[in-house]
Chains A and B, each alone.
Chain A
């Protein structure tokens, strides 16, 4: 499942988080929200929810 969450932070700004996306699929979502809301001031990619990435990391660690 691909989830998108929007959190309204203590400054009234929006924080968008996408999980379960493969590759760069989530970038389009972030760009769309940022374009409508204003601008991205911080962006972080997190591979932990993407199984192929985690598997690749584990395999690399085993080597």
Chain B
């Protein structure tokens, strides 16, 4: 028997999300158990989604995002998932393609972690005919 499953990726592993941000070029990432305030390019507290001020647990500060950028944040929600807080100003850089890229890196990081936990033996990594990254394991 063989089976195929398509999984919808949801950010819920902090370690893998930070690693995925690193894969996307953001190696200087703040991680906080208690959510911290996000700031815009003027250094003012942002209020995109929260009138009291946007707060996030995983933060890429604006100096690491780029010129005239705002902080990029991921807030830990009550259900244990992380949601992105991306300013409208930075959506040119953090556009849909960037978000898909981050999700792909995160999915790969989580997959590698799961495979290790299950004791799967790495077999090979390849790019398939569609140009998609593929990782294969053998069950020991």
Q: A residues engaging B (CB < 8 A)?
A: 1-27, 29-30, 32-34, 36-50, 53
Contacts and interface: CB of A to CB of B under 8 A. Distances in A.
A20 B103 CA distance: 29
Interface stretch (B1-9, B37-45, B87-95): B1-9
Interface in B113-140: 113-115, 117-118, 120, 123, 128, 130, 132-139
A2 B122 CA distance: 12
Shortest 3 CB-CB contacts between residues of A and residues of B: A12-B103, A38-B10, A12-B104
Contact of B6 (A5, A42, A45): A42
Nearest to B97: A12
Contact of B100 (A10, A21, A26): A10
A8 B2 contact: no
Contacts of A50: 1-2
Given A3-B138, A11-B103, A39-B10, A44 B132 contact: no
B76 interface: no
Size bracket of the B interface: 35 or more
B102 interface: yes
Interface of B: 1-10, 12-13, 99-108, 110-111, 113-115, 117-118, 120, 123, 128, 130, 132-139
A32 B5 CA distance: 12
A62 B139 CA distance: 34
Contact of A13 (B7, B115, B136): B7
Contact of A30 (B3, B128, B130): B3
A34 B114 CA distance: 10
